[in-house]
Structure 1
Amino acid sequence: MLYTEGGRLSAEAAEILRDYRPTRVVFIGGPAAITAAVKDQTRAILPDATVLRHSGATRTQTAAAIARRTLGPS
């Protein structure tokens, strides 16, 4: 799990992506938390990776969506 500022990919996160070259990246949070610029920077570093976003309308709904994806339906 990497943390970065919402408006840009941090230098540290970019370096880790370059070093590890993951084939799948999942952003957790909506466009207010992680902008399209961050996704674009990630795609530029990892052009062949699958890039997904999981989010909800609020932080609570985002957390619930991640829990459902991780734990399955209740």
Structure 2
Amino acid sequence: MAIFPGTLEMLFGLDYDFEETWGVSQVTFEAFALGTLASILALGIVGYVRGNKVRRDPVTDPSKDSEAALPGV
């Protein structure tokens, strides 16, 4: 698993030297991975909340509006 490397190896009883493979402890790696996922989730939630007005307001088609038509067309 990319978020929690070494988990399946531990589950199946295989040897896996996490620090030698990744260069950091497993706790540090997972903290950064979960922190990144939390940041992406927070950004998505903020975008969703701030986009509420766009989702709520109906979209009008300017080509069907006679006043919005280009002059001379």
TM-score (norm 2): 0.22
Structure with greater strand percent: 1
TM-score (norm 1): 0.22
Structure with greater contact order relative to length (CA < 8 Å, sep ≥ 6):
1
Structure with greater helix percent: 2
